[in-house]
Amino acid sequence: MGFDTVPREIVDQICESVSAPTLRSLRLVCRRLEAIASSHVFRHVLARASKSSIENFSAIANHPVHSQHVRYLFYTAGCIFRYHHFRPLAVDEYLERWRVVEYSLTIDHQRGYYSVGSPRLEPSQHRANHEVYMAAWEDHEHVVHGKHDVDLLTELLPNSQTSLASQCRINQYHRFGIRLAATPKSLAGLRLRRVKAITDAIVANSIHPTWFCHSCIHHYFFDPHINTTIHDLILLLDNLAYFEIASRMSKNKSPFHFDTCRTSLRQRALWTMIAAMPNLEVLSLPFNGPHRIEKYPVRHYVTFEADLHHVIPPHSVIPKLKRLCLAGMEARLDELLGLYKWHRATLKTFELATIGLVDGLWYDLLPPLKGALAQDTLPEIFFRGHIFRREKERGMEMWRFDDR
């Protein structure tokens, strides 16, 4: 195989780029990959309030090898999570790696549990869902007084250390942040109430967040028809080092259902939030795109969900940005080059995936970026997915694969 002589950090990068199911299949084909891939097999562990899910979680937690390498322990609820980096216990310490433990925060808001079930349920239904959720855990003793026992979870996943009780160790070893993980449907009626409840909990615990990750953020935060404010949330963004947005479009709707004006308003509001993060080092904006339009039976006729000049306006600078990942959006050639130009003093990694060029050809972007690579001002650049160029055919604009 040759993996025995390859540096571990390179092997880890290869394993990170392979999907978990593929990695498991490779291990079945070649047992020599067992030792190498064991730390990447279970990157994310999802624990739902179902018997089968809890049994699967317990099996992983009790495994002598896999429990040591769980990176994300994820519960389907609004969560406060913590993470820390560590060095492997082996003699050769090649990389600092990230370990993440994510645990559920039960929120009693007007006697309703907004962290469990649909937000549109009545408080009594929330309580019923909460009782079912707690009953599913009764045999595993993971819940104490209606909340997840963080210390017990730490014992199950030994590489996750320290609880919220020890503030001095928190400041030394951990970073804190918030994540609202839910589908667009469940977010529809939630508005700002859950955000305020979680931010209040963060302030009450003296937690200083440095990582913010929000799922489907534009579906309800930046809807012009919702009269809400994100002032309380922006106050928490001052120390954030990592920001990622996951934008999802409903599978039941054509892209034509999106109003361009409303979408651009959401994108500009997104920049308002990004601009409030002076210490941001990693910005990941993987919008879903492109989407095929089935109404017109034209091959390669697609639409993108975001415009780069709305999300990151021209001449806008993120002073400490080190890694930038963009995907699923339209962009002009000068916008991409300008984005690199304004951040070349700090930018170390530039990742582009499935980008639609409004003007020019894709390979026109390569010479200046290759020049930056040669001068070591941009150590890493990644191109992933299909690249599109815009053309006109029969009076109709369309996107075609730019595979040259």
Mean pLDDT of the region 142-169? 39
Report yes or no: 285 and 306 within 8 Å, Cβ to Cβ.
Answer: yes
State the pairing for strand pair 209-215/242-246.
parallel
pLDDT of residue 345: 84
DSSP 81-112: EEEEEE--SSS-----EEEEEEEE---EETTE
What backbone torsions phi and psi does residue 40 show, to the nearest 5 degrees? Answer: -120, -5
Q: How far apart are the C-alpha atoms of 181 and 200, rounded to whole Å? A: 18
CA distance 180 to 198: 9
pTM of the complete model? 0.44
Count of all residues that appear for the chain in the document: 404
On the question of pLDDT at 332 being above 80, the answer is yes
* Res 153 pLDDT > 80: no
Q: Where are the beta strands (DSSP E) in 25-171?
A: 44-47, 72-75, 78-86, 97-104, 108-109, 112-113, 143-144, 147-148
Residue 228: predicted pLDDT: 39
Q: Are 357 and 389 in contact (CB under 8 A)?
A: yes
Structure tokens given for 199: 């931010």
Question: If DSSP codes are grouped into helix, strand and coil, which group holds residue 12?
Answer: helix
Res 174 pLDDT > 80: no
Mean pLDDT of the chain, nearest integer: 53
Which of these, 174, 284, 178, 262, lies nearest to 218 by C-alpha position? 262
Q: Please state which of the ranges 21-25, 56-60, 293-297 shows the lowest mean pLDDT.
A: 293-297
**Ranked by mean pLDDT, which of 10-24, 193-207, 378-392 comes out on top?**
10-24
pLDDT at res. 13: 72
